[in-house]
Amino acid sequence: MILEQNNVQTYGSGARTLVFAHGYGCDQNMWRPVADAMADRYRVVLFDYIGFGQSDLSAYASDKYATLQDYATDVIKIARELELQNAVFVGHSVSAMIGALASISAPDLFDDLIMVGPSPYYMKDGDYNGGFSPAEIEEMLEFLDHNHLGWSQAMAPAIMGNTDRPELGETLTNSFCATDPQVARDFAKVTFLSDCRDKLPEVKARTLILQCVDDIIAPEHVGAYVHANIAGSTFKVLDASGHCPNLSAPHQVTAAIEAFL
């Protein structure tokens, strides 16, 4: 049932399996440019979190998905159902932390963890600067509460960046707008209020951190913080801007993953 609920798709061939996980307000199609490019060398798994894309919305409940660990539990269930071992988890944005939690809870499933634009905590706290003040996060969440479509139309292009290619911002805007408003509000709170900093040292999977420049959601110093707190991790800054290189620079993301693996 978990495979149907999460609209799990598998294709490609190879000795190793790549599990691609989408970010906030997105679905599995955000990974298609990278996944399709790698399917001749790897088995590929794509899925939608409950409440997003073509997942089963009836399986969603606010109290059931109140923490990032709840989403990580679904990742583990999917991996177990597919009988994965020594797989590679590729997580964009908030999915980087979901993947970290899944790898900690079920270390036999994922040998490698690839984080694209990760942030363990989005707010400023003492010497740590996640990029946003608590007041800014509160204001953003209030905007989303009152005007889901307006928030999506304002935020998506800024998150995407690459203003010289407005079609990319439009793609992300359409994805945000298509998300159920209640799910969007709930997941935004889970995403932007979660603090995973203390979990980073527990990650034992071999980890690659891919960072873009001019990323307003996960600035470069945040990626460097993640790198510094996961022992043995690799940190690579892509020649790409914005928060979604899986769409804006898929060839670079593909090459970086290939080189790491």
**Whole-number Cα distances in Å, 68 to 41, 160, 261:** 31, 23, 26
Tokens of 151: 């928030």
In the residue annotation, 92 being an active-site residue is answered as: no
With vertex at residue 75, the alpha carbon angle to CA 101 and CA 242, rounded to the nearest 5 degrees, is: 70
Q: State the amino acid at position 6 in one-letter form.
A: N
Candidate list 92, 148, 227, 243, residue with the active-site label: 243
Candidate list 27, 186, 215, 227, residue with the active-site label: 215
Candidate list 93, 103, 233, 241, residue with the active-site label: 93
In the residue annotation, 119 being an active-site residue is answered as: no
In the residue annotation, 243 being an active-site residue is answered as: yes
**Whole-number Cα distances in Å, 210 to 13, 96, 220, 224:** 25, 10, 10, 10
Active site residues: 93, 215, 243
